[in-house]
Amino acid sequence: MEGRNRDRLRLQCDLFSPEGEEEFMSDVASFQLGDQQLEMPVVTGSEGERGVDISRLRAETGVITLDPGYANTGSCQSDITFIDGEKGILRYRGYPIEELAQKSTFLEVAYLLLYGELPTQDVFDEFKDEICHHTMIHESIKWVYRGLPKAAHPMAVCAAVVGALATYYPEDLEPGDSGQVRMSVHRLLAKFPTIAAYSYKYSIGQPFMYPVNRLDYASNFLHMMFATPCEEYEIPQEVSQALDLLLILHADHEQNCSTSTVRMVGSSLSNLFASISAGIGALWGSLHGGANQAVIEMLEQIALEDGSAEAFVSKTKDKKSGIRLMGFGHRVYRNYDPRAKILKSACSSVLDALGVQERLLEIAMNLEEIALKDEYFVSRKLYPNVDFYSGLIYRAIGIPVNMFTVLFALGRLPGWMAHWKEMHQDPAFKIGRPRQIYVGPEERSYVPMENR
Ligand code: CMC
């Protein structure tokens, strides 16, 4: 960027609240660029978060904002999830994650995210009934699996199969039709456990197990994962409860990378299945959902070497090593991730209940203790995130490592769909299309091959 003009834009937020005005009034920020001055509204959310609405900036001044990684950019107003990263607060539709984790179930949380309120018993029974009766996938979808290599990562398989659902339900793809949206949302919530479990069964060469609709959501998934036609899988209650808890904790996290991807794809009026398939792709990366797999691989590596958490933490501080302490740090949380707090204690209870001795848990707790006292991590406000302990629970309940991120996707599905729906109902809806500052060559003439 050297040598390029860096003018100064003066941003002044004059926040005035005339007496008697409503609490959530818009205040004003004034921008100054050279001689030009522009006033822009400041939007205040229900928890007091403020954002300058710059939607008229380019039209009025010709400049745009530049914000790599969108760390300062609000892409929408949303009433689904609230996070206070400084205080370590997470709430779905106003309900603290700690309460939902303790008192609710994943399907109830899914309803809450999708429809905004906790359901009454009748409404919930109807919802559950509908989800339970769409769990099977079309028999011919099994050929989609068979067309893929057995060694394929299940995230790639799930993205492909979810995308393929659009070919089975062409009559329900219209984002503007509430009946079609409801049908697609319920179908996908119902079928995703089947799709996910089949991706595992296919990879190990076992027959696909049909869903059993009398089972609850988590137990049904476990049945499809671990039963075979020759043997029933007795589902330990601790295991299905642990899985349900993990799904609740992953159900939404406002405008993260995969949710923003789902919104972006959906903003072109692309269908739900295509949008979610793209979200699965975004979640797969190791800086996002793929971190849960990366954490276990990191812990296994440490155990395999000398088990020294101290030596490993030192490596993660050395930028040249290219190694990060996986499961640590978060774009939004500058405090302990509240989900990690719940999972740390759940991890110990699940392991105790199942009688599992886990050397990796010991290493993880050691890593955490060292990192939380280390100046490098303290000064950067890097704390354990949701992925730090989740993998240990998945492992204890028998989930293979390459399925960890698929389970993250299973949990995040209601959040993705709630955002997709919300975006289409937003009066400010627009196709997502960021701008850029071009820094490539200026105009030049084509040079024939022989002269290059
Ligand atoms: N280990 C070592 N150093 C780290 C780590 C880490 N895990 N995370 C951040 N840093 C350092 C980073 O090198 C940088 O240092 P400096 O200021 O000296 O350049 C500083 O902390 C800020 O990091 P950043 O990469 O600018 O922060 P970000 O907000 O862009 O990235 C993150 C957030 C989650 C990608 C990052 O913390 C990370 O890579 N963590 C490890 C991967 C991980 O656990 N991901 C799961 C995230 S939570 C669940 C989810 O979203 O899916």
CA-327 nearest atom, ligand 1: 44
The answer to whether 397 touches 245, Cβ cutoff 8 Å, is no
Ligand 1 pocket, residue 279 CB under 6 Å: no
Q: What is the pLDDT of residue 356?
A: 85
Nearest CA to ligand 1 atom 29: 331
**Under 8 Å CB-to-CB from 347, ≥6 apart: which residues?**
361, 389, 392, 393, 396
Q: For residue 276, give both structure tokens.
A: 């979610």
Nearest CA to ligand 1 atom 24: 331
The answer to whether 288 touches 257, Cβ cutoff 8 Å, is yes
Amino acid identity of residue 158, one-letter, is: C
Which residues participate in catalysis according to the annotation? 330, 387
Query: For 291-332, what is each residue's pLDDT tens digit?
Result: 998 999 999 999 998 878 999 999 999 999 999 999 999 999
In terms of Cβ atoms closer than 10 Å to its own Cβ (0-12, 13-18, 19+), residue 328 is: buried
Ligand 1 pocket, residue 315 CB under 6 Å: no
Q: How far is the CA of 55 from the centre of ligand 1 (A)?
A: 30
Cα distances from 379 to residues 49, 370, 371, 373, 382, in angstroms, run 24, 14, 11, 10, 8
Q: Which residue matches tokens 């001795």? A: 357
**Under 8 Å CB-to-CB from 356, ≥6 apart: which residues?**
350, 396
Q: What is the pLDDT of residue 41?
A: 93
Q: Hey, which residues does 28 pair with through a beta bridge? A: 14, 41
Segments of the chain with pLDDT less than 70: 1-9, 11-26
The answer to whether 259 touches 279, Cβ cutoff 8 Å, is yes
Q: How far is the CA of 330 from the centre of ligand 1 (A)?
A: 6
DSSP type of residue 327: T
Ligand 1 pocket, residue 381 CB under 6 Å: no
Q: How far is the CA of 444 from the centre of ligand 1 (A)?
A: 40
Q: How far is the CA of 220 from the centre of ligand 1 (A)?
A: 35
Q: How many residues does the chain have?
A: 452
Crossing angle of helices 291-304 and 309-317, in 10° steps, is: 130
| Bridge-based pairing state of the strands 36-44 and 9-14 | unpaired
Separation of alpha carbons 87 and 68, rounded Å: 25
pTM for the model stands at: 0.92
Q: How far is the CA of 325 from the centre of ligand 1 (A)?
A: 8
The answer to whether 298 touches 364, Cβ cutoff 8 Å, is no
The C-alpha torsion from 250 through 415 and 282 to 68, rounded to 10°, is: -100
Separation of alpha carbons 260 and 423, rounded Å: 11
CA-295 nearest atom, ligand 1: 44
Ligand 1 pocket, residue 324 CB under 6 Å: yes
Report CA torsion sign: 234, 237, 239, 240.
positive
Q: What is the pLDDT of residue 19?
A: 55
Stated as kind and residue range, the H or E segment containing 309 is helix 309-317
Nearest CA to ligand 1 atom 52: 288
Ligand 1 pocket, residue 107 CB under 6 Å: no
Nearest CA to ligand 1 atom 51: 288
Nearest to 193 by CA among 178, 176, 174, 213: 213
Query: For 157-194, what is each residue's pLDDT tens digit?
Result: 999 999 999 999 999 999 999 999 999 999 999 999 99
Nearest CA to ligand 1 atom 47: 288
Ligand 1 pocket, residue 329 CB under 6 Å: yes
Report CA torsion sign: 207, 208, 210, 215.
positive
Separation of alpha carbons 217 and 416, rounded Å: 18
Cα distances from 287 to residues 152, 258, 416, in angstroms, run 20, 11, 18
